[in-house]
Structure 1
Amino acid sequence: MVHFLFYMINLLDSTLENVELGFDEDQSQKQRKFNNINQTMEESFEKSYKPGQSFADDSYSHILDKDDDSSNDHRANARKSLKDPEEQKRLRSMKCWPATLFFTTYQWRDLKRRKCHFSLAFCSVFFIVVSTLVVTTVIDKGPYIFLELAQDSYGEIDAIITPGVSESKQSFLSYTAVENRIKDLPEMQYRVSPRKVFQAVSAYGNITKQESGLTSQLKVDGLTLYLIDTLKERSIELGKNYDYQPLQQGECIIHQNLATNFLGGIGIEQNITLQVDIQNLYNALIDFFNVPRTAKQQLKKPTLYTQTNFTCIIKNLSSASHGKFEEETSQRSVIMEISPFNSLLSLNLPKEIMTQKDGAEFAHFVAGTQSYDFSDQLVMTMPEPRITVYEQAIYDDIQKSVLTQVNNFIDDFGFHAVTALTPVLGEMQKYNLAILFFNLIFRIVIMIFIVISVMLIYSLLMIGIETKTMETGIMRMVGVSKRGLVQMIFVQSFMFVIPALIFGVALAFPALALCFIFVFTEKLEGAFAPIPSTYSIVLAVSVGLLIPLFSSILPVIKVLGQNLNDAINYQRSRVKSTYVEILKANQVNIVPYLIFGCIATLYGFGVYYLLPLALLSFNLGLILQVFFFILLGYLFGLILFAINAQRMVENMLLFLTLFWEAPAMKALINNNLKSHAQKNKLTSTVFSMALGFLIFLMVQYRLLRQQNSVQRIDRYGSYPYIITPSPMYNLDYMKIEQALRANNDSIESHTWVAFEAARQPVNPVDRVNLLDVSQVQDHVMRLYAIQPNAFEVLSKELQVVSYQASGLGYGESLYSAKGSQSIILGTYFKALLDTDPSEGSLDYFKLKLLRTKQSLMYRVRTSVLFDQVSVFKMGSKEPGSTTSSQYHVLTSLPIMAKYLSIRSVKDLAMERVILKMKDTATLDQSEKVVRDILAALPSDTTENLKVKKDKAQLFASVDRTISLLFTVLIMITMFLCFFQLSTSMSANLYEQTKEIGVLLSLGFTRMRIVMLYSYESFILVMASSMLGVLVGTIAAFTMVLQFTQFNDMPTNFYFPWQQLIGIFVASIVCALLSTIGPTRSIVKHKIASILRM
């Protein structure tokens, strides 16, 4: 150590003095030495230290000798040259590089001596840079998760362009004209492809039974025939998983379900016959054929056409929609190529055309036409890369991007010529709040990494400075200026920042590739190319370069504020448990108070002005920003509470968890915790904040997932849910009941709901009004009839009752003697109608059925009052003003028949059937039930039915994706916490080497020393983890309350016990690993060596 001190004094004296880095010399001495700098600078920097070398080495004496031999004239010339601007510029340039070279050399030698500290610093910044690049880029793809949910229903079609309504009554779109127009507008990047769609198609298949050799013909109705252009749709990225080759004339692809369950297991290379109604296309073709002909020569349009039959060969059996079609229609679809379709059609024209004189000529004309010119629709996708449109954090921005592109297309091709539908955008709107909160959550994740990065790098720099106070003191003693010390600390930080930044950026590419492959299960192309986003690169470089600069501010202040005597005193321990701070009124630093005042003012302005503005304008993006900063303030307050409660929790854990230890051992642990309180504060803050945020994020995701599930249950009650839009397509409950009986092994129960009284096909009413006894209060209602078991099928989770007249079931009460005079109502009308028997009010009111000829009024009672229930609009809040938001009132099927003067309930039209599957039922069994129901109904009915299925399997895949993201976040966070803890505990150990030596000399065994510091680390980590869990739980529970207020739905608080146990175990392992190794590396030395460390 003494040799090192001599070397430092010699080296600093021979370099810093000559480059004018702050020696307290007068100007004449500097001028005298200036002329000798060029000759001696290189020698002084290249001079290496040798053991035994004296303070006054050759280089130092060489400078002195040359100074002594200098003449007065030489000094005068040097004094004059300093006034020359060129000389001053040259002098300034000579100052920077030698000092930088010296500090770089010094830090490099220090790095080789302290490899562990460098490794911790390098790994910390490395993981911060990698995690920032990966997490930020992955978060940008977050809305893609919700896009997948939307595409599951409608495919990857961003817009469907159909013929507009005009005076010309155009029925088709000419894709040839559209394509030519697109070529004239290359800057718009329109991506469209033609399609023809035929509904109500029938298919025939000839099946030969192997056991008997007999051939039978099977028929299935209600299919949809899609004519597509495979290559064009592939070029616009429609159907990313559709790998089939283009079909030739007479070839088709059908769904596996259709082949197996409806066509007797028909296979590839077998024929099926399609029966299609093509009347509109025939009429359009005849019009084109007749254009050059006179009235007598024109081909006549038949009044009625027989359906066109043609045979196709099955080339492939598809098992999914591949993102090209709606999920509901894909299982009953047939796919053919559009380009050869007219040629195929010319060979199968109906007899009404072929029997005419010009039938053969017309067939030849049809074969020569382009199917593109008679497209039913154009399917559009957004410009490449398409995913970037849906990556935006706010739904309004997504909507603006999609509608701008679609509206530009409509403007370019004619407002009246085309219309557009955006099914995916409409489905994305359902996930609007989910997208907002998803981005809110993961913006907090980015904030976590930034804050942890600042604290971790600051801790590394601070500990590096505190462990070298003597060396720094010697530098100050020999004249290193404040600027030189700042330069030294910056050089120290960049010694590990630059390599970590380079390696971090390099590793981000394969890390992103793994995330996209295993998390999103996407191909590494297009928007999912494993390249960090621009924002993530800027953020990572800022974290890697700017944060070390800002983190160096406090260490610099600490170095410059150190007492020089204390800094160079190596005999006394550097650990201090008592601090005395003297404040002078005239030297108070008011800058922190001003900064805090400005931040608080801006925060208050944001809450007081921007929040009402966002709510009044319903600007969801601004609401998100305001909520984000309010949440940060709330979490900041909780973290401050955790920091101040740290010592109290440590004392409690010391008493509870180490009760078997001797009082002396516990006293040592307590004293260590006190003396290391300042240094451990950063570690405890990082642990508390990281764990608190992780708990908060996991709870929030579960909350979002639960809210989405509850909203679907509130809308449909149970799955499968089948509803018909009109009484014209009445559900034939006799046929459906037969299909349900065939699946009794998987169905627990089901219930029917009749059309409301105003929509019944037999004797409907014009309106249903609900009046109080005095007939002053008058409310328009929608009257439905239900079965006794209705509320047994619907989800009980959302059934909240405020009053019930009997002990029977809610639906059963309507079928009792008293219930025949009762209805089920929402709680909102309780006060308005004064009909709460539990409070002694009247137990009846009036139900008025209005008709044009005759209106009837009935006196009814309340059977059940609901605060909340699924499917039906009943509740305690005021209903909206639109027809769709009118509240419902329920009665029994016989009473509905009585109100409508219908003889039998069999004459009531059924609107929906709701099924409840058994808990053991699989998704395949649920699909089979739906297929059997659809097969039992006529094709015109099945085409118009809406079937809602349980999306548990789809949401399970989303759950797996998000769970993987959280797993990655937990691993990265625990790595960062481990580095912080390792750095802090290593510094604590090396500061207490003298205490460790004394304990060993007093008889402490080496194992007890290891246990002492392991206990300290364990207590510190456990206290920080407990407070972090408390912070996260309080914040998450507050958010649950907020969700409940927003949605007016019951929300269960979810606590991630499994993840929490894993985090606690990982924290304990980190505590032990960060302590045992450094402690053993110290205690393995002899006591004398330990005391000299």
Structure 2
Amino acid sequence: MPTKELKVDASTENYKIVASRESESPQRYRIELNNNYSEKEDWPNILTFCYNSISLFWAKWKLPFNYAASSNRKDKSSFSIGFVTVLLVVTFLTLLQNALSNTSIIFLHIAEQTVGQIDMLMTPSDLSTFLNFTFIEEATKLRAQGSSPRWVLYGEIEKDNNFVERSTNPTKEMKIDQVSMAFLFIDSERERQAGLGVEWPFETLGEDEILVSSSSLRAIGLQPNVGQRVKMSVDLNSLFQDNGIQTGPLSNSTNNSRNTLGSFLNSIIPEQNITQTIDASDLIDATRLFPNLTGIIGIDNSTQSRVNVTVNSKVLIQNLLQTIDENPWLLIVNSTFTVVGSLDGTYSKVPTALGNYAVFEKIVLKKIMISLSAYMKSTTERKKDFILLTNSIVGSLGDDFDATFSLPLNTALQTSSFISILLDEVLFAVVVVLSMLAVILIYSLLLADIQEKTFEFGMLRTLGLNKNNLLRLLTIQSFYFSLPAILTGIYICYVIYVPLSYVLSNMTFTEIRPYLTFGALILGVSLGIILPFVGSIIPVRRALTKTLRDALDIYHNVVFDTTVSIKRLQDIGVSIIQTLFALFLVVIGILVYYVVPLSFIFNLLSMFFRVLTIILLCLVIGQILMVSSIQPFLERSILSVILYWGSDRILKDVVLKNLQSHRPRNRKTSLMFVICLAYVLFAATMFTMQANSLSDNQSWFAGADIVVTGGTMNNPLPDTALRSYLNTVLVKYNNSSRCIVEDYSFATVPLNSLKNLDDLTIIDNLYFNEATVSVMALEENYLDVSFNAYYMVEKVRPELNFQRTGSGKINFLPSLNTNLSLELTEPPSLVYSGQYAPYDENRLPSNTSKAYLSGVPIAISNSLYENYYFGVDSMVRLIFYLRDMNRQYITHEIPSLPIILLKKLSGFPSISRLVRNRTPLFISLDMYKKILEYSDRLMMPEKPTKISYSRLFIKVKQSVSDFQIEGLVNDINGIVNSDAFNVVNLKADIAATKTASDLIMMFFYVVSFIGMIFCFFVLWLSFTANIRENVWEFGVLRAIGLQVMKLYIYEAVTIVISCIIQGFVIGCVTAVALTLQFNLFTEMPFAFYMNVPLFVVLILFSLVVSCLGAYLPAAEIKDKPVAFVIKGLK
């Protein structure tokens, strides 16, 4: 082969560039680089080598780059479609990923609204009354951002009637109601410095000024900022008693108990002589009013108006206690304050559990808050950080520091971990679906471009362009629009995110830097690079496999391609499809049998849900591929319906012929439409059903409109105060607009909480099946108060006549009192092996029939029947394993008769087939009290027995407003006045859930809009290629007088309607299947909820896209002369 030396300026003694001509064509040369470079450090040679390498690289890529640039300048449509596709994917998904990375800030803000901006809360333990704030602040100053003390007092407020009468602007509706209130004393300046309650909009309060919650002001008929005054009443006796300090006659200083008021005052005030200068007249008035208040050591009469009085602290405390004993009203503080503002929320300052609250500007020691910041990490990392931080703080305070520690914000954030995982999975699914649509679109774009330029590529190859250069050209062409789209998409994402971050920062009162996270940038850039690459694989492969003859055939039609493949004998058994399918099954098997157990072992819920999402997407894609086989039959049926009547019915055969001939290209369009419609409908329908199911589950778990929970045997609900308040509301405002309570009912604390109870089981008469149960009692009106929609009965005892509730369902609670003949007796004195052997012929008769007729009626869960076969047609025994005051064990049996099997009951989610132990078992209130009395006699015979209630269920009227419910909830919070109780406002909880679901539905609207844009582009490309390949047929049909535009519109509408039907069926079937699976665990009745507005919007989008996608390509040649169209002239 002849070799020709080229003159190259970069040639050195170590480099020689030789070009040899490979053929007779003067334009084809092979360039070689002979490298004789030695390993010595010769920087000029290195620079020369780099320059030559860059020159050779540019020589290879210059022609493809220039050709792609020239091609895009001539035909801007392909560049525009590819640019918009990558731009939408990069912008939307980058913005979504960046926004989701800040969802923890929103969850943190919600938690702050619930518990306040309290990172760590220190409260006095049972062995102490107050905390030494000075010591805590000094010990934790290196580890805490700031700290501040608080003191919470509970009392009542009412309007100052004397002041209101003199007011120039009194409230129109005069009310004299008292409202229970939590009085919060804060140091606003210290809390501001510590960053506690940054949303607090009020200035430091002055003397005699107060801030009161708006619901309390509405209740007593006052307005803020108009000079009106309220009267505060606080009983310090209850304050001391809540902190374990006894007051009254036994609280004098001679009592050595540390729990008396005297011992407490002596512990905080050292013995000393206290000298104070006061007015002589005040001293005389005080001694006259309280003659017991003595202990004055001396009086300095140097002046007549003011005297110096010296008092011994011990004597003063003793006389003070004696005076308080004789005048208990001294511990009731009554003061009036001017209302300078109303509190419409918590402002991230206080927990919502306070209910009605008022704020004063004082500094007292009660609660300590230490600010930490570690909430932006994952749950596992946040837990680890908090353990290390709390350990260091406790270590600095000392192991003997007496306090109770809690992490309110971290605890509140744990409830949002599941929602965060759900949002991550939604993002992952959207990324997968939009990536699939983008790949199909880019594939269609490049394929159409290659088919259009087949002849042009053939001519380039004739002129000497080899396949390597053709590969570079197609690669450059695919990335020519993707790289600018990536940069533009990231810039647009940043521009959009800046105002969003500003709004989010103002909403959450958190400093949010307006920059894109590294993860969001990686996602956007990787998708922008990978999607064009994946989409160009098949088009490039098709372009490289074409022969030169086929490329130069201008009458070639891809529809009539004949593919000839030659395989060697050893390759016949290898199938790419079979191999890919096998790999797919292997991956699925690894996910199911390895990754899923691994996620449970390491408690990685995110990994578990990611596997479920992948399997779910595979399920949807598999259904799409399966139903694609019925696409031709579905299209034929739809077309028959559309063209069944009218003048256009003569076009039916021509449209069917077009559908058949264009099916290979239209398959991509159908696939994109079905993927988009199926996923959006499936996700939206499933989410709508899950959101409604979540609301149902919230109602089922709560049981009523308002629920008060948290009562225990040691700290039961204050039922007397609650009954008094609710009865007052019912009686005073009966049949008026202010009466919002319809009825209420209490539930007792389970007997399993008894101190001297080791276990409580139910067993059959043969002592074969035994299960642990939770025995409790309900008031007879409970079923009228709770939600009857979640009350389901499996089976009842046939011989009993049950009463009915207001909704017509069986009311089993009155039937629990049908037989109370069994008395609980003391056990005999016979002791064997340290245990009593209870026997009483009156309690356990020898006659079996008598025993069966004397059982205590009980109501049990249906799961006890399914797992242990305790039914309504048999007798069982309740066995109490008790201990007396001597720690001796007593086994006490009660023969019982199940009268009803409960499948579900509002307020008791543990009544479920999935719960086998500790399931609720209900007895009558009278029997509950007898068992309680029996237990008390064993431990403390002289103790009076009182039923302890754990929950209060309140039913409100349907016409009440949110403000009225808020006021009722705040009043109840003021009555229970303890952090141990929780007041649930079901309506507010469901409203918050609905708000979140509405936001996610808006997200699906955006996803559907972007998907429809992709579908429009694909439909446009497909019909453009169809018309270009059948332009001669297009001209002939116009020549014979047919309306050709209608042919393509009918074809597009038929394809899209068939895709709508397939997507609807796949989406709904998958959503229903998953909801049914979810209901297997919740046992909720199935209800089909569909987002009809979204479905209508998708149908309209699809029809508009079908019409535009068919009209625009045909409009380019519809007005050209028929002769030009038939001859293919432009």
Partner SS for 1:244? coil
Correspondence 1:900-939 to 2 at 5 A: 911-930=950-969, 939=975
The 8 Å contact of residues 356 and 970 in structure 2, kept in 1 or not, is answered as no
Change (3 A) 1:799 1:675: same
Q: Relative to structure 2, which stretch is displaced further, 844-853 or 633-642?
A: 844-853
Which residue in the other structure is 2:654 paired with?
A: 668
Residue 136 of structure 1: aligned partner: 97
Alignment of 1:575-724 (within 5 A): 575-576=558-559, 579-585=562-568, 594=579, 596-660=581-645, 665-723=651-709
How far apart are residue 537 of structure 1 and its match? 1.1
| 2:1093 pairs with 1:1058 | yes
Q: CA deviation at 1:898?
A: 6.7
Secondary structure at the residue paired with 2:317?
A: coil
Partner of 2:1129: 1092
Deviations along 1:490-525, one digit per CA (max 9) or x if unpaired, are 22223322332222222213433565678x695498
Counterpart residue identity of residue 598, structure 2:
L
Aligned partners of 2:508, 2:490: CA distance in 1, in Å? Answer: 18
1:42: which partner in 2? none
For residue 562 of structure 1, what is the aligned residue in structure 2? Answer: 546
SS at match of 1:731: helix
Distance in 2 (CA, whole Å) between partners of 1:324 and 1:748 is: 30
What letter matches 2:718 in structure 1?
Answer: Y
Deviation at 1:784, TM superposition (A): 3.1
Structure 1 counterpart SS, 2:704: coil
* Cα distance in 2, alignment partners of residues 1053 and 379 from structure 1: 48
Q: What is the TM-score normalised by the length of structure 1?
A: 0.78
Q: Which amino acid aligns with 2:720?
A: L
Q: Determine whether 1:196 maps to 2:150.
A: yes
CA RMSD of aligned residues (A): 4.4
| CA distance in 1 between partners of 2:31 and 2:961 (Å) | 95
2:526 equivalent in structure 1:
542
Which stretch of the first structure deviates more once superposed, 620-629 or 99-108?
99-108
The DSSP-based 3-state class of the residue aligned with 1:824 is strand
Aligned residue number for residue 795 of structure 2 = 803
C-alpha distance in 2 between matches for 1:227 and 1:211 = 29
Superposition deviation, residue 194 in structure 1: 0.9
Maintained 8 Å contact 1:850/1:856: yes
The answer on whether the counterparts of 2:717 and 2:949 sit within 8 Å (CA) in structure 1 is no
Letter paired with 2:814: Y
In structure 2, distance between residues paired with 1:995 and 1:551: 31
Looking at structure 1, the residues matched to 1013 and 1055 of structure 2 have their Cα atoms a distance apart, in angstroms, of 17
Instruction: Please say if 1:958 is aligned against 2:988.
Output: no
Counterpart position of 1:1039: 1074
The 3 A distance-change label for structure 1 pair 119 and 855 is closer
Aligned to 1:786: 778
TM-superposed CA distance for 1:428, in Å, is 3.8
- What are the equivalent positions in structure 2 for 1:111-126 lying under 5 Å apart? 111-126=72-87
Match of 2:720, SS state, is coil
Instruction: Kindly state the Cα deviation for residue 601 of structure 1 after the two structures are TM-superposed.
Output: 2.4
Count how many residue pairs are aligned between Structure 1 and Structure 2: 964
Deviations 1:181-239 (A, max 9, x none): 54x46xxxx43331312222454652457678799997857533334454564566544
How many Å separate the matches in 2 of 1:801 and 1:1058?
37
Q: Residue 948 of structure 1 aligns with which residue?
A: 984
- Aligned equivalents of 2:442 and 2:25: distance in 1? 46
TM-score by structure 2 length?
0.76
CA contact (8 A) 2:682 2:1070 kept: yes
Q: Does 1:750 align with 2:782?
A: no
Within 2, Cα distance between the matches of 1:1031 and 1:475? 47
Structure 1 residue matching 2:1067: 3-state secondary structure: helix
One-letter amino acid of the counterpart of residue 1017, structure 1: A
Aligned equivalent of 1:97: 58
Q: SS in structure 1 opposite 2:446?
A: helix
Alignment of 1:888-1037 (within 5 A): 888-893=920-925, 896=928, 911-930=950-969, 939=975, 945-950=981-986, 951-1004=989-1042, 1008-1037=1043-1072
Match of 1:23 in 2: none
- For each residue in 1:953-993, what CA deviation from the matched residue of structure 2 results, as whole angstroms up to 9, or x when unmatched? 32232233223222222222222322332233323333332
Please name the residue that 1:334 is paired with: 358
Kept in 2, the 8 Å contact 1:164–1:416? The answer is no
**Residue 497 (structure 1) aligns with:** 482
Are 2:457 and 1:472 aligned?
yes
What SS does the corresponding residue of 1:316 show, helix, strand or coil? strand
| Deviation larger for 1078-1087 or 812-821 | 812-821
The unaligned stretches of length 5 or more in structure 1 are 1-25, 39-63, 68-74, 343-370
Tell me, in whole angstroms, the C-alpha distance in 2 between the residues paired with 1:36 and 1:125.
Answer: 42
Which one is further off, 1047-1056 or 711-720?
1047-1056
CA contact (8 A) 2:973 2:983 kept: no
Whether the 8 Å CA contact 2:815–2:857 is kept in 1: the answer is no
Deviations 1:843-896 (CA, angstroms, capped at 9, x unpaired): 444456777789976554332211222223663537466xxxx22222344565
> Closer, same or farther in 2 for the Cα pair 1:552/1:906, shift >3 Å?
same
Q: CA, structure 1 residues 847+287, in 2 after alignment: closer, same or farther (shift >3 Å)? A: closer
Cα distance, 1:1019 vs. partner? 1.8
Distance (Å, rounded) in 2 between the aligned partners of 1:757 and 1:490: 73
2:1069 counterpart of 1:1069: no
- 2:349 partner letter: K
Counterpart of 1:812 in structure 2 is 811
8 Å contact kept, 2:150–2:187: no
Superposed displacement of residue 928, structure 1: 4.2
Q: Kindly indicate whether the alpha-carbon contact (under 8 Å) linking 1:760 and 1:908 is maintained by their aligned counterparts in 2.
A: no
Corresponding residue of 1:225? 183
- Residue in 1 aligned with 2:216? 258
Question: Which stretch of structure 1 is more off in the superposition, 747-756 or 445-454?
Answer: 747-756
Instruction: Give the Cα separation in 1 of the matches to 2:335 and 2:813.
Output: 55
Q: Which moved more, 1:813-822 or 1:664-673?
A: 813-822
Q: CA 1:724 to 1:558, structure 2 compared with 1: closer, same or farther past 3 Å?
A: closer
Q: Which has the higher helix share?
A: 1
Secondary structure, in 3 states, of the residue corresponding to 1:191? coil
The AA in structure 2 aligned to 1:334 is: A
CA gap of 1:759–1:1042, structure 2 versus 1, over 3 A, is closer
Structure 2's unaligned 5+ residue stretches are: 11-23, 38-44, 246-260, 276-296, 298-310, 325-329, 820-855, 885-889, 935-943
SS of 2:902 mapped into structure 1: strand
Distance 2:1031 2:1009 in 1: 33
* Cα distance in 2 for residues equivalent to 1:521 and 1:991: 56
2:130 matched to which residue of 1? Answer: 171
CA offset at residue 558 of structure 1?
1.0
Bigger drift between 280-289 and 448-457 goes to 280-289
* Distance change >3 Å, CA 875–CA 727, structure 1 → 2: closer
Is the contact made by 1:254 and 1:333 (CA closer than 8 Å) also made in structure 2? yes
Corresponding letter in the other structure for 1:544: G
| Aligned residue type for 1:692 | A
Q: Distance in 1 between matches of 2:158 and 2:957?
A: 35
Percent identity between the two aligned chains: 20
Question: Pick from 427, 437, 441: which aligns with 1:456?
Answer: 441
* Distance change (3 Å), C-alpha of 1:174 and 1:928: closer
Aligned AA for 2:101? D
Q: CA deviation at 1:400?
A: 3.8
What amino acid is the match of 1:135? L
Deviation at 1:133, TM superposition (A): 1.3
Please give the alpha-carbon distance, in whole angstroms, between the structure 1 residues aligned to 2:611 and 2:911. 31
TM-fit CA distance, 1:471: 0.8
Question: In 1, are the aligned partners of 2:859 and 2:898 still within 8 Å (CA)?
Answer: yes
Point out the more displaced range, 100-109 or 676-685: 100-109
Query: Which residue is equivalent to 1:739?
Result: 729
Deviation at 1:949, TM superposition (A): 0.8
Q: Summarize the Cα distance change of 1:559–1:757 in structure 2 as closer, same or farther, 3 Å threshold.
A: closer
**Could you tell me whether the CA contact under 8 Å between 2:662 and 2:1026 is conserved in 1?**
yes
Q: Is the 8 A contact 1:196 1:376 kept in 2?
A: yes
